[in-house]
Amino acid sequence: MANYAIASLSYLAANYETEGFKANSQRIATARNLSRPLVGKLMSQMSTAGLVNGTPGPGGGFYLSRPPSDITLLEIVKLFEKVEESLMCPFGPGWCGNGDPCPFHYELEDKRDEMMAWLSNTNLEVFTKHPVKPEKGFCES
């Protein structure tokens, strides 16, 4: 779900500088080639978490609650995914927790640390500089 949340927020971030810009779930869904019910659910969760604000009614819609530079990808990912700070051994808890670490342990630790650092240091501002166009296959799976 985090990837769809980032896709949805990327649209709001790309339009952040447009004065008075708001987008309803349908507009975001169309712009990012996502289903409207999914976007509606995601936006509701992100509104509760304080990432977006919403204005109901005609002419209403969602907008970022903070500047794009103040919303990290890690903040978004943590809202929708279980982010493990501790390493999950692919061989189960019986190997790394008892005695010598498994053959992958240290490399997986490094990769996890790199990913956490990247998510922490990357924010939605990237979408204000390089807007994503849906015709390039955004979020197709």
**Structure confidence at residue 141 as a pLDDT band (50, 70, 90):** very low
First-to-last CA distance in the chain?
Answer: 13
pLDDT in tens, 3-50: 999 999 999 999 999 999 999 999 999 999 999 999 999 999 999 999
Give the rounded distance of the alpha carbon of 85 from its chain centre.
17
Tell me the domain boundaries of the chain.
Answer: 1-71+125-141, 72-122
In words, the CATH class of domain 1-71+125-141 is mainly alpha
Hey, which bits of 2-97 come out as E strands? 52-55, 61-64
Whole-prediction pTM: 0.83
Q: Please, what sign has the CA dihedral across residues 9, 82, 70, 119?
A: negative
pLDDT in tens, 89-139: 777 777 776 778 888 888 988 998 999 999 999 999 999 987 666 544 444
CB 64 within 8 Å of CB 71 = yes
